[in-house]
Amino acid sequence: MTSENTQKPLTFGKQLASVYLPTMIYEIGIGAVTPVIPLTALHLHANAAIAAFIVALLGIGQVVGDIPAGHLATRLGDRKAMLYGAAVTIVLLIMCAFAPNWEIFALGIFVLGMVNALFVLARQAYLTEVTPPMKRSLALSMLGGMTRIGSLIGPFFGGAVMSIFAMNVAGKAQDWLPGAFWTAVVLTIVTWIVVFAVPEIATPKTEAQVKAAQVSSGFILRKNAKMFMTLGLAIVLVGAVRQTSNTALPLWSAHIGLSASVTSYVYGLSGLLDALLFYPAGRMMDRFGRLWVAIPSMVILGGSILLIPFTHGVWSIAIVSLAMGLGNSIGAGMIMTISADMAPSDYRAQFLATCRMFGDTGSAAGPLLVAAGAEVGFLAGGIWLLGAFGLLAAVILGTTLEKYSIHANQRTRLAHGLTKRGRPIEK
């Protein structure tokens, strides 16, 4: 378990400028791109199975990039990691916009996932370090909320640009798919400017501190083997279920004949509730414990995914996407918070990177299951399997979290000498 933080908490203004604002702008760009990844792959003559696999490459890239991201975030610091990552992201987005075939496009998406891992981890590790445990859920839920706001706004930005610059092909208007990537390019440039304008506010680490904080992933896995075999499996399942909206919604929308722009709007609806409830969810986790949010989140999200194959038009799939957004929204930041609760202060960034590797493994596996279903002509089967994963994640979290997190609920807090709100009992 991690020790209590002694560092003075940041004001909300400093958190907004250094963490939340650049995260939101960056994620708006990613949100504009995400729903058109499978559609662009199809446009580049990939079949449905390959298109789903290319979406999976975004998650696979994050898995590959998680451990290096932990070392880079420790060595470079938050601000430099973000600046370097933004610059590389711009190049990759331009590469995807000009991709002549799906092979080059797939490479760009894979490396984009690696860079995205650096962005996310740097912010998570920083907030974990500077936020007291009794306020940690709210801080990390707000970080997750910025991602969700980006997921909400981004598809509408991308959809609008694709519609405005639609091209006439054989007498029929066709959405301009590269417009989503150029939207992301502009927003990533803005992200770079914002990060550059805000000075690094973290306490600089000495060379000795940086060296001491770097441990191998093998050491972390051995030291926490029981936890990763149980709670780690739940993290994998949560990652797989959350990634479903990135793959299943666009592919099922295409399956029932919706256009690219309408698909972007439907995907954006999934982020509508997703971007609204992260604040009360964070407050609830801080007040009552992590399980009060983790279990309902997975039950609602998993259950709504099971309904996707029963939709046959824009209204039915829109309703299901709203339900998915609700389940995902109340779980904003829950895995980041649970990981932070368990992270040792000595090598926090590397531990969080290992936890993210588990979640990102699930994110990569989820689209692969959808791709397998599409390959055998049973797209609905892959979607139903992921919905079941959500319900299984709820069961594992409910039966194992109390063993590893002091803040699982109020009972575990009292058992470890804290108040019900997670504060130390004054003597």
Residue 70 lies in a domain: yes
Mean pLDDT of 380-409: 91
Tokens linked to 87: 């610059």
Tokens linked to 233: 């499996």
Give the CATH number for residue 17: 1.20.1250.20
Residue 33 lies in a domain: yes
Q: Which residue has the tokens 């560092």?
A: 7
Question: What is the widest separation between alpha-carbon atoms in the chain?
Answer: 79
Contact 294, 396 (CB under 8 A): no
pLDDT bucket at 271, cuts 50 / 70 / 90: low
pLDDT of residue 383: 87
pLDDT of residue 168: 54
Q: What residue spans of 243-290 are helical by DSSP H?
A: 244-255, 260-274, 278-288
- Phi, psi angle pair for 4, to nearest 5°: -65, 150
pLDDT bucket at 307, cuts 50 / 70 / 90: very high
C-alpha of 122 from chain center: 13
**175 CB contacts (<8 Å, ≥6 apart)?**
162, 163, 166, 259, 260, 261
pLDDT of residue 401: 93
- Phi, psi angle pair for 424, to nearest 5°: -60, 140
pLDDT of residue 147: 79
* CA distances for 38 relative to 108, 173, 198, 303, angstroms: 13, 20, 35, 24
Contact 105, 40 (CB under 8 A): yes
The total of structural domains in the chain comes to 1
Residue 133 lies in a domain: yes
Distance separating alpha carbons of residues 53 and 295, to the nearest angstrom: 29
Residue 288 lies in a domain: yes
Helix, strand, coil % in the chain, rounded to nearest 5 = 80, 0, 20
Distance separating alpha carbons of residues 367 and 51, to the nearest angstrom: 10
Give SS3 for 208: helix
Tokens linked to 142: 């707000």
Residue 141: count of CB within 10 angstroms of its CB: 30
Q: What is the pLDDT of residues 390-402, one digit of tens each?
A: 999 999 999 999 9
Single-letter amino acid, residue 283: R
**324 CB contacts (<8 Å, ≥6 apart)?**
244, 245, 249, 270, 274, 301, 304, 305
- Phi, psi angle pair for 168, to nearest 5°: -90, 115
pLDDT of residue 170: 44
pLDDT bucket at 3, cuts 50 / 70 / 90: very low
Q: Which helix (H) or strand (E) holds 320?
A: helix 314-330
More confident residue, 366 or 192: 192
The yes-or-no verdict on residue 201 having pLDDT over 70 is no
pLDDT bucket at 2, cuts 50 / 70 / 90: very low
Domain that holds residue 104: 12-198+216-415
Tokens linked to 84: 């370097």
Mean pLDDT of 369-388: 80
More confident residue, 6 or 224: 224
- Phi, psi angle pair for 291, to nearest 5°: -65, -25
Residue 325 lies in a domain: yes
Nearest Cα residue to 370 out of 247, 234, 239: 247
User: What percentage of the chain carries pLDDT values higher than 90?
Assistant: 22
Nearest Cα residue to 395 out of 305, 328, 295: 295
pLDDT of residue 89: 94
pLDDT of residue 214: 65
- Phi, psi angle pair for 95, to nearest 5°: -60, -45
pLDDT of residue 96: 94
Residue 369 lies in a domain: yes
pLDDT of residue 66: 87
Distance separating alpha carbons of residues 156 and 291, to the nearest angstrom: 33
pLDDT bucket at 111, cuts 50 / 70 / 90: very high
Contact 246, 294 (CB under 8 A): no
Mean pLDDT of 37-54: 87
More confident residue, 104 or 1: 104
pLDDT bucket at 93, cuts 50 / 70 / 90: very high
Q: Which residue has the tokens 């609700």?
A: 326
pLDDT of residue 424: 78
Q: Which helix (H) or strand (E) holds 173?
A: strand 172-174
pLDDT bucket at 389, cuts 50 / 70 / 90: very high
C-alpha of 118 from chain center: 12
Residue 395 lies in a domain: yes
Q: What is the pLDDT of residues 131-179, one digit of tens each?
A: 777 888 888 888 888 877 887 788 888 888 888 877 654 455 567 888 8
Residue 5 lies in a domain: no
Instruction: Please give the full DSSP string across 338-390, using - where no structure is assigned.
Output: HHHHH--GGGHHHHHHHHHHHHHHHHHHHHHHHHHHHHTT-HHHHHHHHHHHH
Q: Is 108 left (phi over 0), alpha (psi -120 to 50) or beta?
A: alpha
Tokens linked to 231: 């709670």
Distance separating alpha carbons of residues 123 and 199, to the nearest angstrom: 15
- Helices and strands, number each (H, E), in the chain: 20, 2
Contact 196, 84 (CB under 8 A): no
